[in-house]
Structure 1
Amino acid sequence: MPDPVVPDLVAATGPAAADTPAMTLRLAGGGRFGPARRPQVAWAGVDGDVGPLTGLAARLTAAARGLGLPVEDRPFRPHLTLGRWRPGRPADGTLTDRLAGYRGPDWPVAELRLERSRLGADARYVTLSAWPVG
């Protein structure tokens, strides 16, 4: 995302977060994006109060589109990315099958954070802004 867009995105995200009610979530199950032979992303599913989470995702999508930012045109699937498989490297795409029956503890969602991800050898996340939820 180009830096000139960040202030507008922060400004547009605040109202979307303000409309988000309190919610409680938990990790549940898991899977992968991509086929088993060439998996791309390992993820854990999110369960609990996913209705408010889905509403938040819709408001954030509308805000990004309103700024002319590209947004994927596919249904929202609440998940937590656990890791990525490197292209061209051996991968066990069935690894996430072990999460099928997992149900983690509940946690209250206290805030929404806008994060910038810096992928690569020194991958990290930088918090750009945060808003209270509920």
Structure 2
Amino acid sequence: MDDHPEPPTRRLFVALAPPDDAKDELARALQPAYAAYPLLRWNRIADWHITLAFLGELPSAAVPVLRSTLPGAAAAHPAPRLALHGGGHFDGRLLWSGVTGDLDGLHELASAVRELIRAHGLDFRDRPLHPHLTLARSRRDDPTSVPLAAAGLTGFAGRSWPAERLHLVGSNTGRGPGPIRYRDLASWPLAPS
């Protein structure tokens, strides 16, 4: 008997992940913010990613479809060369690091992934792509920490790296106590750049 049955739905997205040394570089730059703003809900460094398509809650039956569909999209697109740069926030509640580099290639990859997913009958809300890496979220009673932490990242400029793999990621739904947790369900190599 399976102790962990497959949930009827999964929160899914398709993403790129910076390499560990690029994450470490940003984590070092964040040390003052970690100390100054301990009440922010900081994402785990292992979970940092750049979302290309947020699919939301889909039936678990969508996972095999995506596993068979996404390898072709990955193989058809060259790995964009990217870098993490600066910081900002959405509505004073969500802290992010920006992404620079081959943004045209990144947008082309995201468009191709989204079109392919829709062509296989999976419906999702298509949000505009604003390449970023989410770092933390504020609590409702803390309206100033995120903008102040973002200001502290203004001068950050990370090294560039090729985004070598396309990832299908699942997360818990974020309901209840505790942070959102992400799990890599599968990944595929992008074409050499």
Q: TM-score range by the shorter chain?
A: 0.7 to 0.9
| Distance in 2 separating the partners of 1:85 and 1:72 | 25
Q: Displacement of 1:113 after TM fit?
A: 1.1
TM-score w.r.t. the length of structure 2 is 0.60
Partner AA of 2:154 in structure 1: A
Q: Does 1:109 align with 2:163?
A: yes
Does the Cα contact within 8 Å between 2:62 and 2:122 map onto a contact in 1?
Answer: no
Q: Match for residue 76 of structure 2?
A: 19
* Identity rate, percent: 34
SS at match of 1:14: helix
Partner AA of 1:110 in structure 2: E
SS at match of 1:21: coil
Does the Cα contact within 8 Å between 1:30 and 1:97 map onto a contact in 2?
Answer: yes
Does the Cα contact within 8 Å between 1:64 and 1:71 map onto a contact in 2?
Answer: no
The partner residue of 2:184 within 117, 120, 127 is 127
Q: Match for residue 72 of structure 1?
A: 126
Moved over 3 A (4+): none
The partner residue of 1:89 within 132, 135, 141 is 141
The partner residue of 1:29 within 81, 86, 106 is 86
Consecutive unaligned residues of structure 2, counting only runs of 5 or more, are 1-57
Partner AA of 1:71 in structure 2: R
Aligned-residue CA RMSD in angstroms?
A: 1.8
TM-score w.r.t. the length of structure 1 is 0.84
| Distance in 2 separating the partners of 1:30 and 1:122 | 21
Consecutive unaligned residues of structure 1, counting only runs of 5 or more, are none
Partner AA of 1:27 in structure 2: L
Partner AA of 2:70 in structure 1: T
